[in-house]
């Protein structure tokens, strides 16, 4: 052991603690938030470095070190499940030499052994329990000892059998819930269409989907499962891993695919190479391959460490990198108006697939790397999913690529807001954003046009009935009635909804326009303050900043939006179609002027939206969160954390009876 004295000892301790804190943070982001910030490989390398330091300096060992814990923890939103058999994680290996070392350690303890090699599915590890062949409970791994009960969500996954082919007295199995690549693409498309932040990769999508409170949401995500282990079994005897996988198939489980029993480590390594070469063609993601000792009797002898079984190892495939030429850069306009650059590459074979395109993220990324068309660049598949440009190896131009100043789709001037990396088009009539904007425009909190849901809007766009937002108010209802699945009745119902929306309050139109940073509440404040669309369109940033609740970014966003010719033209055409352009809110008096109410719980007779309208009619406003600026909290039955916070801050809490007395 190296002996370090004085200040350098403290530096070593700091380095170890820094690594532990970083690993805890990124583990929490990965396992519990389903929102990783770094690639798996980078995390694995940090973990490896920490292990090396802890072995070199055992005096700084800690029982709560990430090297001794499985990554996840039970989510408080689900009931906890204590695992009778610990759900262990696996020791990772990153080279063939480490696999040979693993074999030597096994051979030193047991001489007669075989291995089973199987792909390591990149998903969320779960336990399924069955009594008399009937599914009774399912849970996540959590920290290995305690997970969370997600039985309801597991039931809706197609390949989770609710009844086995044989009435086994009791069996607990372990598997990996994953999202197939096709399902992932479909979910991300839907998220982008709705203006939501998309999942980063299928693993996080699977984890987020399995933890949904609503099982219907889980069912809609297209999850699947592979079973790869028997944790407990009553009513039968299994002596090897290969036998257990074959038995699981007989029971009706969807077992881990193409597992193979081999006689030695050399054959195991050959199988790992074969799996690695085929991974690009698989319909699901894998992040490695696993070698397991086949014989259970040998496993008993080998045992486990505090964290890992000694009878298995997971080989992690390194991120493959290749050099190629960047021949062009394309700019695409997303459904939220963000301009996204894509590198067009000379085709290169990478991680089992042919890569000819890679993400360049944004202008800041391009500037940081100094990227230009014609450069020789290094490309990697990030997380083996999305190819990305890592660096420039050879510059063939003196000038770095710069984004266009106008939108490639509609030719409107693009903007970059303060403290944002994204450059975006804010034209409400931009063709690239049309479908998303239409769906938002017709949604309940916006113009609330019943009958014009996402699927129907898409049908109308595909059939040329809607080419811009104002076309909603000039629909050809005879043509609608002639479409497949539509009749005269449904066309007339849509007509009535469209006509009804014309009389909406101005605040709903403001929100429907999709102005960045302006939600329904902000739209209401704008409408109530200025009263007409003309007054809003001619308002300055300072004028808007005089509204309590508006900040600089929101005010600038409103002004920038109405500066565009396309916005002015849209308002003109909507007005000509009969859409209301004035506030319809009647202010009876100003008794609640300057007051902010927060509503929580269930009121005896009033609905929350009814109470909000009453407050606004007396010059007050409502907020969704309690703060020191809150005047009153109007609380009903089952009031939760908002009531607790109000009491902690000393804010006046009133009930419906008191409130009704205030408005007499």
Pairing of strands 621-623, 596-600: parallel
Q: Minimal CA–CA distance to 458: which of 231, 183, 193? A: 193
Tally the C-alpha atoms within 13 A of residue 48's C-alpha that lie toward its C-beta. 13
Cα 169 from Cα 35, distance rounded (Å): 39
Q: Minimal CA–CA distance to 597: which of 626, 636, 637, 618? A: 626
Q: What is the dihedral of CA 488, 493, 497, 500, to 10 degrees?
A: 90
| 584 Cβ neighbours under 8 A, 6+ residues apart | 503, 505, 506
DSSP state of 73: -
Q: What is the 3-state secondary structure (H, E, C) of 93-121?
A: ECCHHHHHHHHHHHHHHCCCCCEEEEEEE
Q: Minimal CA–CA distance to 341: which of 352, 353, 328, 354? A: 328
Q: What is the 3-state secondary structure (H, E, C) of 374-435?
A: CCEEEEEEECCCEEEEEEEEECCCCCCCCCCCECCCCCCECECCCCCCCCECCCCCCHHHHH
Distances (CA, A) of 253 to 10, 30, 128, 159: 53, 28, 11, 7
Choosing from 69, 73, 113, 120, the catalytic residue is: 120
Pairing of strands 80-82, 170-178: unpaired
Instruction: Give the distance, in angstroms, between the CA of residue 71 and the centroid of all CA atoms in the same chain.
Output: 19
Instruction: Give the distance, in angstroms, between the CA of residue 504 and the centroid of all CA atoms in the same chain.
Output: 34
Cα 271 from Cα 268, distance rounded (Å): 5
Pairing of strands 386-394, 376-382: antiparallel
119 near 245, Cβ under 8 Å? no
What would the two tokens of residue 189 be? Answer: 């498309």
Pairing of strands 353-359, 339-350: antiparallel
Catalytic, 120? Answer yes
What would the two tokens of residue 290 be? Answer: 């696993």
What would the two tokens of residue 281 be? Answer: 């063609």
| 165 Cβ neighbours under 8 A, 6+ residues apart | 133, 250, 251, 252
Helix or strand run (H / E) with residue 562: helix 552-563
| 248 Cβ neighbours under 8 A, 6+ residues apart | 173, 227, 230, 255
Query: Three-state SS for 654?
Result: strand
Q: Minimal CA–CA distance to 426: which of 556, 545, 532? A: 556
Residue 549's region, left for phi above 0, alpha for psi from -120 to 50, else beta, is left
156 CB burial (10 A radius; 0-12, 13-18, 19+) = middle
Query: Three-state SS for 330?
Result: strand
Helix or strand run (H / E) with residue 228: strand 224-234
| Residue 321 phi, psi dihedral angles, 5° rounding | -125, 140
Residues identified as active-site: 120
């Amino acid at each position: 052991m190296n002996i370090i004295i004085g200040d350098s000892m403290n530096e070593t301790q700091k380095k170890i603690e820094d690594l532990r804190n970083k690993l805890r943070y990124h583990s929490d982001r990965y396992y519990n938030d389903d929102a990783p910030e770094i690639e798996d490989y980078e995390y694995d390398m940090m973990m490896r470095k920490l292990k090396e330091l802890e072995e070199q300096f055992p005096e700084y060992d800690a029982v709560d070190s990430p090297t001794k814990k499985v990554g996840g923890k039970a989510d408080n939103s689900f009931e906890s499940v204590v695992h009778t058999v610990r759900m262990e994680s696996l020791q990772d290996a990153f080279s063939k030499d480490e696999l040979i070392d693993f074999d030597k350690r096994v051979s030193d303890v047991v001489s007669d052994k075989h291995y089973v090699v199987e792909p390591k599915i990149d998903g969320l590890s779960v336990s399924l329990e069955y009594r008399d062949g009937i599914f009774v409970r399912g849970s996540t791994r959590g920290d290995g000892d305690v997970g969370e009960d997600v039985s309801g969500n597991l039931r809706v996954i197609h390949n989770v059998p609710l009844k086995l082919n044989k009435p086994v007295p009791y069996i607990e199995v372990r598997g990996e819930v994953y999202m197939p690549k096709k399902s992932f693409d479909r979910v991300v498309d839907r998220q982008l269409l709705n203006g939501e932040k998309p999942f980063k990769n299928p693993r996080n999508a699977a984890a987020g989907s399995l933890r949904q409170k609503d099982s219907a949401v889980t069912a809609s995500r297209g999850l699947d499962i592979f079973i790869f282990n028997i944790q407990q079994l009553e009513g039968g005897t299994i002596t090897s891993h290969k036998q257990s996988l074959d038995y699981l198939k007989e029971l009706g489980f969807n077992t881990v695919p193409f597992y193979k029993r081999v006689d030695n480590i050399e054959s195991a390594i050959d199988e790992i190479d074969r799996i690695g070469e085929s991974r690009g063609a698989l319909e699901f993601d894998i992040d490695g391959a696993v070698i397991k000792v086949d014989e259970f009797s040998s496993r008993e002898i080998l045992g486990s460490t505090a964290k890992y079984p000694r009878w298995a190892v997971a080989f992690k495939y390194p991120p493959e990198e290749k050099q190629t030429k960047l021949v062009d850069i394309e700019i695409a306009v997303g459904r939220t108006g963000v301009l996204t650059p894509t590198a067009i590459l000379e085709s290169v074979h990478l991680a089992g697939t042919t890569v000819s395109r890679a993400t360049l993220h944004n202008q800041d990324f391009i500037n940081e790397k100094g990227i230009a068309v014609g450069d020789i660049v290094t490309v990697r598949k990030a997380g083996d999913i999305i190819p990305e440009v890592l660096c420039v190896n050879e510059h063939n131009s003196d000038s770095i690529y710069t984004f266009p100043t106008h939108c490639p789709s509609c030719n409107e001037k693009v903007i970059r807001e303060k403290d944002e990396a994204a450059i975006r088009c804010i034209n409400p009539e931009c063709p690239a954003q049309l479908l998303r904007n239409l769906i938002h425009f017709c949604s309940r909190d916006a113009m609330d046009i019943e009958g014009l849901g996402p699927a129907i809007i898409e049908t109308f766009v595909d059939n040329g009935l809607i080419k811009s937002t104002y076309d909603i108010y000039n629909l050809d209802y005879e043509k609608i009635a002639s479409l497949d699945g539509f009749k005269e009745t449904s066309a007339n119902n849509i007509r009535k909804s469209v006509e009804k929306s014309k009389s909406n309050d101005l605040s709903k139109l403001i929100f429907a326009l999709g102005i960045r940073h302006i939600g329904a509440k902000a739209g209401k404040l704008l409408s109530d303050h200025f009263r007409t669309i003309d007054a809003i369109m001619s308002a300055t940033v300072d004028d808007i900043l005089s509204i309590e609740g508006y900040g600089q970014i929101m005010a600038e966003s409103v002004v920038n939006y109405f500066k565009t010719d396309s916005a002015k033209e849209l308002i003109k055409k909507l007005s000509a179609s009969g859409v209301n352009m004035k506030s319809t809110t009647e202010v009876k008096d100003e008794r609640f002027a300057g007051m902010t109410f927060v509503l929580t719980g269930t009121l005896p007779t009033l609905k929350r939206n009814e109470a909000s309208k009453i407050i606004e009619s007396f010059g007050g406003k409502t907020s969704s969160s309690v703060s020191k600026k809150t005047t009153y909290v109007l609380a009903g039955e089952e009031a939760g954390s908002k009531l607790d916070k109000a009491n902690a801050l000393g804010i006046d809490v009133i009930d419906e009876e008191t409130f009704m007395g205030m408005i007499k």
